[in-house]
Structures are given as C-alpha cells and as structure tokens.
Amino acid sequence: MQPNDPFPIERCSSRLRKAILAEFEGRTPIFQDILSIPLNKWMAVPGMGPRLLRELESIIHCKPPVPQSEPSPKSDDAEFIARLERFQHDLQRLQHDIQALLGETRLRKADTNGSDMH
C-alpha cells in the first residue's frame, strides 16, 4: 500500500462505503486521504460507529474484513440470488452445448467408421 494508491472502497461494507464517500463528497479517496483523518474525526463522520471504524482499520492494515454482526440488507440478498440464478442458467446452457458437441463428434466418428466399410 502506497499513500497515493486508491483506497479499496470495494472491500468496504455498504455502510462504511457510504460514510467514506460522504466524507469525500462522492470521490473515492486514496490511502493518504483516509490516513490523514484522525480516528476521533472518523467517529464524528455521520454513520460511522465503532464497528465500522474497526472495519476501516482492518482494511487499512490489510487484514481480512471484520465479519458483520448484522444481517445484510434484503437488496443484497436479492442481488446475490439473481446472480446465482444467472450462473446456474449459464451452467445449464454450457452443459447443453457440450452435450450437443459431444453428440456431433460421436455422429461424425460413426459416419467416418461407416464410410470406411464401403
């Protein structure tokens, strides 16, 4: 992590991401921006609390994210389920395509073997 590297906002929970983006007026900060704010000022940022501050510190220090003690919002669940369903559909389509290709290969081999006999 270098001071001018972009802060990995994608690693933040949605609540922490909102608090950080609000603090920086919608701009994704760099590490130096995050580090330039003292901890007591972070606690004054709307929406920030002790749990989010621990999450922020763990990201700064490249530790795995702190597990959330509260359930994810329903919209995150719905998005996850929609993605899972798309992946399952893609997998079924891929399986069908592979089976069709294998069937064509078998037919070609059978045609080739049958034409050799004449």
Q: Give pLDDT tens digits for 57-107.
A: 888 887 544 444 555 556 677 778 878 888 888 888 888 888 888 887 777
- In the chain, the number of structural domains is 2
Tokens matching residue 97: 């395509």
Question: What integer pLDDT is reported at residue 85 of this predicted model?
Answer: 84
pTM for the model stands at: 0.51
Give backbone dihedrals phi and psi of 30, rounded to 5 degrees, phi first: -95, 170
For residues 96 and 49, which has the higher predicted lDDT (pLDDT)?
Answer: 49
Across residues 27-44, what is the average pLDDT? 90
Residue 56 lies in a domain: yes
Q: How far apart are CA 116 and CA 7, in angstroms?
A: 66
Percent residues over pLDDT 70 in the chain = 84
77 & 115 share domain: yes
Residue 106 lies in a domain: yes
Domain that holds residue 108: 71-118
**Side chain identity, residue 27:** R
Which has the closest alpha carbon to 7: 57, 47, 50? Answer: 57
Environment class of 110 (CB within 10 Å of its CB; exposed 0-12, middle 13-18, buried 19+): exposed
55 & 94 share domain: no
Residue 30 has pLDDT above 70, yes or no: yes
